[in-house]
Amino acid sequence: MSPKTLYLIGATIGGTIGGFVPNLWNAGAFSGWGILMSTLGGLAGIWAVYRFMV
């Protein structure tokens, strides 16, 4: 697989997990917290792939 594909998979998985976190305290998926946590999860997924590849 190309590195670009791995980064995309990491961002997708991280964003999905980050988007589910606000549901733990009954915040909506499209609330401010949901969007923020989804963004942070996506960035964490990209970072994790980068650390795995280096």
pLDDT at 54: 87
- CA 2 – CA 35 distance, rounded (Å): 28
Nearest Cα to Cα of residue 11 among 35, 47, 36 = 47
pLDDT at 2: 93
Tens digits of per-residue pLDDT, 1-37? 899 999 999 999 999 999 999 988 888 878 899 999 9
pTM, entire model? 0.87
pLDDT at 11: 98
pLDDT at 28: 80
**Domain around 24:** 3-53
pLDDT at 30: 83
